[in-house]
């Protein structure tokens, strides 16, 4: 399962890498010197999910510490959430759904501690990654469920860039063309169903 589907997901993931770099600059300064996650993304792009998983785990270990993310120190909680979300995507694509769900759960734990100013963006990225991984492996019901959960959790617009987001997002109701809409005069002259027509004296004069 680490073949073509993983490579396609990795190519789509390239844009996420750029956005993540920007998000990291906003979330934490420590992201600037991160190297494991960048290497993991390169490995995933080559279709090497095993290496990508190993490197993402190393990145998570850097920040999964009380002095980095805890109830008393929330400095790198956003980074930890993003890393676990990325790791979850790699694990799901590699066929280890149980491990992916475990990493996803850890990502959600870190999100609960993320600074409110950055939480919506981090939530959008985490849920998007996990939803997209499930979609790519064919579990579209779970992909949509993750999307809906992310939407309820307050994710930003990044979530809607997922395949599940495009499939599940409600469409606005169609509007009738202007020529089909009655004019003010027609509304006045047309009586409601079951009612007699308006007396001629009450109708608006016509030219």
Residue 3 in tokens: 């073949």
Whole-angstrom CA distances from 50 to 35, 38, 131, 186 are: 17, 15, 20, 69
Residue 107 in tokens: 């990502």
In eight-state DSSP terms, residue 20 is H
Whole-angstrom CA distances from 128 to 13, 61, 145, 147 are: 10, 22, 11, 7
Helices (H), the chain: 4-27, 36-45, 49-63, 77-93, 97-111, 116-136, 140-152, 163-168, 184-189
Listed as ranges, residues in the chain with pLDDT below 70 are 1-34, 169-207
Residue 56 in tokens: 């993402």
**What pLDDT, on a 0 to 100 scale, did the predictor assign at position 34?**
55
**What pLDDT, on a 0 to 100 scale, did the predictor assign at position 13?**
47
**What pLDDT, on a 0 to 100 scale, did the predictor assign at position 99?**
97
**What pLDDT, on a 0 to 100 scale, did the predictor assign at position 50?**
94
Extents of the domains making up the chain? 4-168
CA–CA separation, 109 and 155 (whole Å): 15
**What pLDDT, on a 0 to 100 scale, did the predictor assign at position 35?**
75
Threshold 0.85, pTM exceeds: no
């Amino acid at each position: 399962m680490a073949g073509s589907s993983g490579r396609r997901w990795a190519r789509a993931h390239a844009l996420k890498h750029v956005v993540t770099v920007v998000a990291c600059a906003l979330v934490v300064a420590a992201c600037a010197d991160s190297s494991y996650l960048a290497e993991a993304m390169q490995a995933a792009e080559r279709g090497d999910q095993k290496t990508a998983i190993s490197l993402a785990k190393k990145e998570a270990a850097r920040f999964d510490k009380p002095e980095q993310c805890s109830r008393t120190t929330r400095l790198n909680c956003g980074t930890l959430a993003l890393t676990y979300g990325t790791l979850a995507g790699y694990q799901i694509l590699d066929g280890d759904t149980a491990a992916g769900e475990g990493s996803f759960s850890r990502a959600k734990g870190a999100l609960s501690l993320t600074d409110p100013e950055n939480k919506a963006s981090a939530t959008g990225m985490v849920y998007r990654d996990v939803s997209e991984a499930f979609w790519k492996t064919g579990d579209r019901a779970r992909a949509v469920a993750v999307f809906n959960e992310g939407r309820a959790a307050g994710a930003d617009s990044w979530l809607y860039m997922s395949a599940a987001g495009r499939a599940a997002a409600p469409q606005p109701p169609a509007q009738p063309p202007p020529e089909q809409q009655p004019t003010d005069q027609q509304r006045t002259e047309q009586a409601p169903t079951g009612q007699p027509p308006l007396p001629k004296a009450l109708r608006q004069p016509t030219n």
